[in-house]
């Protein structure tokens, strides 16, 4: 089973109302962190910058304005499948990006095939059970080693 999804989307980095340029943005999703998506922005002349935020936030932002704090996502035309604005903020610094909704929806659809929305918790429960079982096996092996050494 595939455990991750990756896609590259071209987005517009909106510097001002008069100035924008297109940049490649890598979208990543990993089933080991089922609630999050990661966007890596490749800005010219700078090191790539990665932001992680909720997968559900990205989905909700395609349909209507959402997000508080550092990440805010909203469609440019409410009520239609249109472009999407993604605003990222650190302190007083902000960056605004515009992306087509279609490639974002296609990416989210691929993530849903790995871990369906709403089933992230059950995946986490499986991982906890696996971790507990591994701990039990290691503890038993340690006890056996101590008994054979003593």
Q: Is the pLDDT of residue 91 over 70?
A: yes
Both 36 and 107 in one domain: the answer is yes
Number of domains in the chain: 2
- 96 contacts: CB under 8 Å, gap ≥ 6: 13, 14, 85, 86, 87
Domain check: are 44 and 82 in the same one?
A: yes
pLDDT band of residue 52 (cuts 50, 70, 90) is very high
pLDDT of residue 44: 83
What's the mean per-residue pLDDT of the chain? 87
* pTM of structure: 0.76
**Could you tell me the residue range of the domain that residue 97 belongs to?**
4-117
Q: What is the mean pLDDT of residues 7-35?
A: 94
Residues 72 and 53 in one domain: yes
User: Which pLDDT belongs to residue 126?
Assistant: 47
| CA neighbor of 27 nearest in space, from 63, 72, 58 | 58
DSSP of the chain, one letter per residue?
Answer: ---EEEEEEEEEEESSSS-EEEEEEEEEEETTSTTEEEEEE--TTS--EEEEEEHHHHHHHHHS-B--TTEEEEESSTTSS-EEEEEEEETTEEEEEEEEHHHHHHHHHHHHHHS-TT-HHHHHHHHHHHHHHHHHHHHHHHHHHHHHH-
Which pLDDT band holds residue 106 (cuts at 50, 70, 90)?
Answer: very high
Judged against a pLDDT cut of 90, whether residue 131 lies above it is answered with: no
Question: Tell me, what CATH number does 56's domain have?
Answer: 2.30.31.20
Q: Is the same domain home to 112 and 138?
A: no
Residue 121 in this model has a pLDDT that exceeds 70: yes
What pLDDT sits at residue 125?
A: 42
């Amino acid at each position: 089973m595939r455990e991750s999804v990756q896609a590259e989307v071209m987005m517009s980095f909106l510097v001002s109302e008069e100035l924008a340029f297109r940049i490649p943005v890598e979208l990543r999703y990993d089933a080991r962190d089922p609630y999050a998506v990661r966007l890596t922005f490749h800005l010219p002349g700078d090191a790539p910058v990665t932001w992680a935020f909720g997968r559900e936030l990205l989905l909700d932002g395609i349909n209507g304005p959402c997000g508080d704090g550092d990440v805010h996502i909203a469609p440019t035309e409410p009520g239609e499948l249109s472009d999407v604005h993604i605003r990222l903020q650190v302190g007083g610094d902000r960056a605004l990006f515009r992306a087509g909704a279609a490639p974002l929806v296609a990416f989210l659809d691929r993530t849903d095939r790995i871990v369906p929305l709403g089933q992230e918790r059950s995946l986490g429960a499986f991982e906890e059970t696996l971790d507990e079982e591994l701990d039990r096996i290691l503890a038993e092996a340690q006890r056996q080693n101590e008994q054979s050494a003593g």
